[in-house]
Structure 1
């Protein structure tokens, strides 16, 4: 999975933060609070994200309402899977990753293993 581009990530971040469908106008207004963004540029990138399968859209009057297909957490998990896949030794890469985790993250990993039916020491 390719990482999202800068504007793609900003659009997705708005939708993930809000937890609801939104129009391009709403997204543009939010991005413009931090930096200038043209409506047509955001509209084009939202349409590209739809074409890539990241967003669904539904016509509401004159505007499209965009909704993420995957959660932020599913996106992050796919990036982690890709990162592990880039190694010739997945086990070693995973060990290095776990060694860099905080105690809280290790506890969360153990809980995730337990809740998925896998064992964790």
Structure 2
């Protein structure tokens, strides 16, 4: 990344920042307060920016928070696979014709993934059987 005329790194999209913050929280394995998140990001973001990002992520139900001293400590509500599943569910929820979306999704699966999906949906062989 090259710096701007004032020597600052170029701005990143908000989605990139959220991804970075989420990665820090997932790697931590324990809830972190904003100062700890800012520190683990290498000081790229100010404390207030980290607080804003964490607060917005909490409002979107991506994080849980608990009181720790005078701050909140934040943790992800799920792991990476869980977030991927939530995104897939969100796309499905946005479309009025769920059958068409699911049908197209299945059509695009590899034969290996299709077989895995069949196994997961089979009440005799699915998870917990």
TM over 0.5: yes
Aligned mate of 1:12, from 13, 22, 35: 22
1:84-113, CA deviations, whole angstroms, 9 ceiling, x for partnerless residues?
Answer: 233343223222222322344334323321
State the partner residue of 1:50. Answer: 58
1:56-78, CA deviations, whole angstroms, 9 ceiling, x for partnerless residues?
Answer: 22233454321223343333223
TM-score by length of 2: 0.62
Gaps of 5+ in 1: none
TM-score by length of 1: 0.65
C-alpha distance in 1 between matches for 2:106 and 2:83: 19
State the partner residue of 1:40. Answer: 48
Closer/same/farther in 2, CA of residues 85 and 58 from structure 1, 3 Å limit: closer
Higher relative contact order, structure no. (Cα contacts within 8 Å, ≥ 6 residues apart) = 1
Number of matched residues?
Answer: 112
Q: How does 1:9-88 map onto structure 2 within 5 Å?
A: 9-32=19-42, 36-88=44-96
C-alpha distance in 2 between matches for 1:92 and 1:51: 31
Answering whether residue 118 of structure 2 is matched by residue 110 of structure 1, we say yes
C-alpha distance in 2 between matches for 1:32 and 1:107: 43
What is the RMSD of the two structures over their aligned residues, measured on CA atoms? 3.0
Gaps of 5+ in 2: 1-13
C-alpha distance in 2 between matches for 1:43 and 1:63: 10
